[in-house]
Amino acid sequence: MIRILIFTLAGILVHSFAESGPFSTSVPSSGPRIKISTLADRTHPGGRFKLYLSVEIEEGWHIYSLHPLDGNELLATQIILEDNVFESTGPWQESPPSLIQDDAQEKLVRGHTTNAEFHKSFRVPKKIDTGSYPISGKLLYRACDNNLCTLPQSLPFGSQVHIGTAR
């Protein structure tokens, strides 16, 4: 009987550690809600388009700029694209960041509260068929409130680029 009780307790402990352990992929309950939306311009073979990312950030939290203040490089938000058929024509641009006194980091930082907008320009190959083509990637960010910061998080995104005929 004691042996059954020990195995039952061990099973409960293993199950609870497996679900809430350091390698869990679920979003921590102490972190913010971050939502990302995408939009891509319509274009044609040989044309250009912009990919837009709109990030909504839970009130009371902030994410860091793509271009942080000196000394804060490890906090920078990054946007990483997966392989696609389009040619990048410049760096990512972001909506104007704010200067934020970050009490969790105990320093002044450049970041975004409530929402952030990012966009990047691309060139379409001249010899491409009309149709829809995927473009996807991930937003790598750290979010902080004035008490704590999350570990680096990865938020996937994707969109379709519609290639029509040239006018």
Confidence of residue 18 (pLDDT cuts 50, 70, 90): very low
Can you give the pLDDT at residue 106? 87
- Whole-prediction pTM: 0.78
Give me the chain's average pLDDT, please.
Answer: 84
Confidence of residue 25 (pLDDT cuts 50, 70, 90): very low
Ordered domains of the chain (ranges, CATH):
31-163 (2.60.40.1250)
Contact between 134 and 160 (Cβ < 8 Å): yes
Confidence of residue 19 (pLDDT cuts 50, 70, 90): very low
Taking only the tens place, the pLDDT of each residue in 61-100 is: 999 999 989 888 888 999 999 999 999 999 999 999 999 9
Contact between 97 and 111 (Cβ < 8 Å): yes
Give, in order, the Cα–Cα distances in Å from 23 to each of 26, 63, 73, 78, 137. 9, 23, 25, 22, 22
Alpha-carbon distance 27 to 33, whole Å?
Answer: 9
